[in-house]
Amino acid sequence: MSLPPPNSSSPSAAPHTDPATAPSHSASSEAPLLISEHEYSHDERQLLLRLAHESIRSTLQGRAIPLDPPTPHLAELRGAFSSLYLHGELRGCVGYVLPVFPVYRTVAETARAAAFDDNRFPPISQEEVSDLQIELSILSPPKPIRPEQVEVGRHGLLISWRGRRGLLLPQVPVEHEWDRVTFLEQTCRKAGLPFDGWQKGAALEAFTAEVFGEKSGT
């Protein structure tokens, strides 16, 4: 079974030309958004990181790898992003927003897509593979949120308006030292919307992410 193309997303405020495909919801919700801070054990994290590396290596070598989840927990449906770094610089970032596929398969597919299908970068070469660092962001399902409820460092944002959509991961505003309003404005910019789109009827959804990897040291 093949997956539809994931969405390209970078830990930056650059305009996003391949918007997220997650559906938006206009109804408000007070449901808690936070997933467990340590939902994935150390062994599970290491397994998923090894899988991400192996997915990239196997693609370069032209061989297939098994993608059946090894445990019920890793068979749970989750959205996820794979971010690749080379010598500290972003080298690719692709993900699924919606929890449609098992997290095990999603990590493998998004790592491969980040390495070879992120059109902002040339495909990863064999010479680069050994120096790659990978960071994974496992997402909670996106839920509607009001602008005043957005918490920098906790929430990632997905904004939708007039056929345009943009997404920024929770770690982005922390890395750039943005406040809440700047985070909302930059998510609009990512979608190609006016900076004040979040004040003019755009649908706003939030999610949380458990982030771990070689770059973050977790």
Q: Is the pLDDT of residue 124 over 90?
A: yes
Query: pLDDT tens, 17-39?
Result: 233 333 222 223 333 333 345 88
The answer to whether 94 and 9 are in contact (CB under 8 A) is yes
Residue 17 or 194, more confident: 194
pLDDT at 216: 57
Q: By mean pLDDT, which of 12-26, 81-95, 187-201 is the weakest?
A: 12-26
Q: Is the pLDDT of residue 95 over 70?
A: yes
Q: Is the pLDDT of residue 203 over 70?
A: yes
What distance lies between CA 84 and its chain's CA centroid? 11
- Domain 24-213 belongs in CATH node 3.40.50.11540: no
pLDDT at 26: 26
Residue 161, strand partner residues: 164
Mean pLDDT along residues 88-113: 94
Q: Indicate whether this model's pTM tops 0.75.
A: no
The answer to whether 150 and 206 are in contact (CB under 8 A) is yes
pLDDT at 9: 46
Query: pLDDT tens, 131-177?
Result: 999 999 999 889 999 999 999 999 999 999 999 999 998 989 999 99
Q: Is the pLDDT of residue 72 over 60?
A: yes
Q: What is the mean pLDDT of the chain?
A: 84
Burial classification of residue 113, based on how many CB atoms lie within 10 Å of its CB (0-12 exposed, 13-18 middle, 19 or more buried): buried
How far apart are alpha carbons 154 and 173 in whole angstroms?
10
Residue 137, strand partner residues: 81, 211
Burial classification of residue 116, based on how many CB atoms lie within 10 Å of its CB (0-12 exposed, 13-18 middle, 19 or more buried): middle
